[in-house]
Amino acid sequence: MAVGMLLAGEGVTEESYRQLTEEMFGSYPMREDQAPDGCLVHTAGQSDQGWYIYDIWESQEHFQRFVEGKLRPAMESTGATGGAEPPQPQFFPVATLVKGPSL
Whole-prediction pTM value? 0.90
Q: Is the pLDDT of residue 8 over 70?
A: yes
Separation of CA 48 from chain center: 19
- Over residues 31-79, the pLDDT tens digits come to 999 999 999 999 999 998 889 999 999 999 999 999 999 999 999 998 8
Please give the Cα distance from 100 to 72 (Å, whole number). Answer: 32
* CATH numbers and ranges of domains, the chain: 3-86 (3.30.70)
Give 1's pLDDT tier (boundaries 50, 70, 90). confident
Percent of the chain predicted with pLDDT > 70? 96
